[in-house]
């Protein structure tokens, strides 16, 4: 961690919320569902699909978890009503994983049933390593209960920097598995996670190739142009059909690369988060990722000087 990034993390609580909001604005659709719908309609018009995410995690109060379920039901209704090219992604701890695996599974299943009725899709996000096994159990349970769609009705996320990922790829269901592959965002111990920028890149490419060879539908989630290039090379070399993968990017990050991929004929999906928890979410992510915090602060200083 650089000295500047360490200083930024230490002083983050002193940064006014208004300033954090201005910096975060391009990356969060807003606080309301209507704001998220407006953003997604623009993305759809521009040739991109979307994943809607209601911000929130680490819920330890049952009523708050049930409120999150209700908000996701509203989101699915809005997707259907506005005919958006969009699915949903959620964090298991937001729906009560820390309150009990069965409670969380039941909450997720309520949403999966609606997604099935709408011929839509739901993805379980992956959080830190304390949640991995439980998240995968919930995924396998729901994947088995709701089969039928070529690319699955329920998907999950693998983090390339986790040492277990190649093993987890091998343990996926035989048919219709759907995985978003990302580098990984949480600060994990070296004993369970690969360290080093180039090492994590190598782990990502290895996991992507194994997913392709197992005929898994893959959401290639990265803004790293090296990895985009490596993915395109694998797609070409292995003869992967265009309907067996998509690229995924975060809202507000590298729209030029997004445009390049769409123009090249690749399916691309943009992750669109919204909700009242934007501030706590942003601050938590910045604390967990000091180098990102440094980049955000530099961006803020550049904007202030402009």
pLDDT tens across 159-186, in order? 999 999 999 999 999 999 999 999 998 8
Q: Which of 53, 105, 168, 180 is catalytic?
A: 180
Burial label, 197 (beta-carbon count in 10 A; 0-12, 13-18, 19+): exposed
Residue 146's pLDDT is 93
User: Is 10 contained in some domain?
Assistant: no
* Domain assignment present for 286: no
- Asked, for residue 14, whether it belongs to a domain, the answer is no
199/193 Cα distance (integer angstroms): 10
> How many of the other CB atoms lie within 10 Å of CB of 301?
10
Tokens (6 digits) for 148: 């039928």
Contact by Cβ (8 Å): 76, 118: yes
CA distances from 264 to 50, 218, 219, 232, 260 (A): 18, 18, 17, 11, 6
Half-sphere exposure of residue 126: CA atoms within 13 angstroms, side-chain side: 25
Whether 298 is a known active-site residue: answer no
Looking at the chain, the whole-number percentage of residues with pLDDT higher than 70 is 83
Range of the domain at 195: 29-274
What is the rounded CA–CA span in Å between residue 157 and residue 195? 19
What pLDDT does 27 receive? 82
- State the average pLDDT for the chain: 89
- Residue 256, pLDDT above cutoff 60: yes
Cα 197 from Cα 103, distance rounded (Å): 37
Look at the pTM and tell me if it is higher than 0.75.
Answer: yes
Mean pLDDT (whole number) for 6-21: 62
Give the pLDDT of residue 16: 63
By C-alpha distance, which of 210, 211, 185, 214 is closest to 200?
185
CB-count exposure of residue 135 (10 Å: 0-12, 13-18, 19+)? buried
Query: Strand locations in the chain, DSSP E?
Result: 49-54, 86-90, 122-124, 154-159, 178-182, 217-221, 245-250, 268-274
Please pick, among 53, 105, 123, 125, the residue that the annotation labels catalytic. 125
- Say whether 180 is catalytic: yes
Average pLDDT over residues 69-90: 97
Q: Please indicate, yes or no, if residue 118 is contained in any of the structural domains.
A: yes
| Residue 281's pLDDT band (cuts 50, 70, 90) | low
81 assigned to some structural domain = yes
Q: Is 296 part of any domain?
A: no
Rounded mean pLDDT, 23-51:
92
Alpha-carbon distance 29 to 34, whole Å?
A: 9
Query: In whole angstroms, how far apart are CA 216 and each of 10, 65, 118?
Result: 42, 31, 23
Q: What is the distance, to the nearest Å, from the Cα of residue 91 to the centroid of all Cα atoms in its chain?
A: 9
| Residue 288 covered by a domain | no
Q: Is residue 4 part of a domain?
A: no
Here the CATH number for the domain that contains residue 233 is 3.20.20.220
In the chain, the number of structural domains is 1
Phi then psi for residue 224, to 5 deg, are -80, 115
Phi-psi region of 272 (alpha: psi -120 to 50; beta: other; left: phi over 0): beta
């Amino acid at each position: 961690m650089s000295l500047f990034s360490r200083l930024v993390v230490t002083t983050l609580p002193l940064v006014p919320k208004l300033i954090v909001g201005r910096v975060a604005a391009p990356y969060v659709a807003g606080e309301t569902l209507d704001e998220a719908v407006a953003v997604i309609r623009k993305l759809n018009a521009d040739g991109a699909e979307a994943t809607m995410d209601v911000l929130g995690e680490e819920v330890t109060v049952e009523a708050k978890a049930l409120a999150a379920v209700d908000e996701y039901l509203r989101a699915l209704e809005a997707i259907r009503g506005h005919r958006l090219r969009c699915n949903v992604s959620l964090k298991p701890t937001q729906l009560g994983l820390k309150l009990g695996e069965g409670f969380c599974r039941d909450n997720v299943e309520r949403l999966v049933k609606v997604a099935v009725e709408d011929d839509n899709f739901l993805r379980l996000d992956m959080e830190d390593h304390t949640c991995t096994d439980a998240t995968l159990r919930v995924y396998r349970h729901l994947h088995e209960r709701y089969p039928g769609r070529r690319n699955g009705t329920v998907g999950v996320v693998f983090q390339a920097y986790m040492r277990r990922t190649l093993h987890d790829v091998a343990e996926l269901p035989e048919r219709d598995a759907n995985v978003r592959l990302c580098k990984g965002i949480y600060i994990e111990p070296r004993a369970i996670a690969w360290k080093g920028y180039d090492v994590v890149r190598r782990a990502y490419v290895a996991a992507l190739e194994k997913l392709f060879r197992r005929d898994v539908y893959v959401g290639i989630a990265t803004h790293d142009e090296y990895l985009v290039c490596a993915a395109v090379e694998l797609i070409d070399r292995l003869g992967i059909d265009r309907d067996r993968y998509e690229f995924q990017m975060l809202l507000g990050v590298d729209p030029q690369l997004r445009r390049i991929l769409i123009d090249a004929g690749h399916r691309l999906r943009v992750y669109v988060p919204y909700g009242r928890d934007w501030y706590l979410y942003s601050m938590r992510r910045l604390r967990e990722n000091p180098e990102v915090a440094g980049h955000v602060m530099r961006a803020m200083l550049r904007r202030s000087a402009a």
